[in-house]
Amino acid sequence: MALEEWIIKEEFEKPINGYPFKIKARILQKKSRNSSKIYHGRVSHYCKPSEQAAGVMRPHGHGNNIDSVRRELNIYIDTFTSIGVEVNEDFDRLKY
């Protein structure tokens, strides 16, 4: 199976109250000769929404336009907690 390449289209970061650093977000675009654009969002860290949650939340920012993916990432970051924080080991990866 061939890995598909992605390019970084947009990056931003936001501070989190009570957290020692900013959460980074990235919007990637699938490299393709097809005229349809496919975008994917990614954040540098994941968290649990509450102490009772079974695991960390991972945003699902996928879409055909940057605005919808950006909106999903911002919603996730705006509700970020300091509970069960995990580093996204794939944040810098551009081939899947």
Cβ burial of 23 (10 Å; 0-12, 13-18, 19+) is: buried
Query: What pLDDT was estimated at residue 51?
Result: 94
Beta bridge partners of 72: none
Place of tokens 């977000």: 25
**pLDDT for 1 beyond 70:** no
**17 assigned to some structural domain:** yes
Number of domains in the chain: 1
Give pTM, 2 decimals: 0.86
Query: What pLDDT was estimated at residue 4?
Result: 85
Range of the domain at 66: 6-87
**95 assigned to some structural domain:** no
- In tens, the pLDDT along 2-32 reads 688 999 999 999 998 878 889 999 999 998 8
Dihedral sign computed on CA atoms, order 48, 49, 51, 55: negative
